[in-house]
């Protein structure tokens, strides 16, 4: 199951970040075809490499495996920002988010 999920999720997240497989590979200090070989199911990253991949994508390992999060890097950044807000401010943001959800889900 994860043998298929992992390369597809990696490709989607990398594409959303707007970087090529080659660029990401080199940024991780790997050979230029490293990410391509993962996405093409030729290899699977070590646990350490997986953590580096998540760090590069600015997401947590949990966010990597949560398909329900379309934009995990943005969600993570949002969570970091709201951590410093008081309860009233967070409730206002939640109300705004719910209003946007209703408006665009119709």
Contact 52, 8 (CB under 8 A): no
pLDDT of res. 93: 94
CA distance 24 to 49: 12
pLDDT of res. 76: 87
Helix, strand, or coil (residue 34): helix
CA distance 32 to 104: 40
pLDDT of res. 100: 92
Helix, strand, or coil (residue 10): helix
pLDDT of res. 85: 95
- Domain residues of the chain, as ranges? 2-105
pLDDT tens-digit map of 57-104: 999 999 999 988 888 989 889 998 999 999 999 999 999 999 998 888
Terminal-residue alpha carbon distance, the chain: 33
Averaged over 12-17, what is the pLDDT? Answer: 94
Q: Would you state the CATH architecture of domain 2-105?
A: Orthogonal Bundle (1.10)
CA neighbor of 53 nearest in space, from 87, 96, 9: 9
pLDDT tens-digit map of 20-70: 999 999 999 999 999 999 999 999 999 999 999 999 999 999 999 998 888
Q: Is the pLDDT of residue 8 over 70?
A: yes
pLDDT of res. 52: 97
């Amino acid at each position: 199951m994860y043998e298929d999920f992992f390369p597809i999720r990696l490709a989607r997240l990398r594409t959303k970040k707007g970087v090529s497989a080659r660029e990401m590979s080199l940024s991780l200090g790997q050979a230029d075809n490293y990410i391509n070989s993962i996405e093409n199911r030729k290899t699977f990253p070590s646990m350490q490499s997986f953590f580096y991949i998540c760090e590069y994508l600015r997401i947590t390992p949990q966010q990597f495996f949560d398909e329900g999060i379309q934009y995990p890097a943005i969600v993570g950044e949002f969570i970091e920002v709201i951590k410093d807000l008081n309860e009233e401010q967070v409730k206002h943001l939640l109300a705004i988010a719910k209003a946007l959800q209703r408006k665009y889900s119709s």
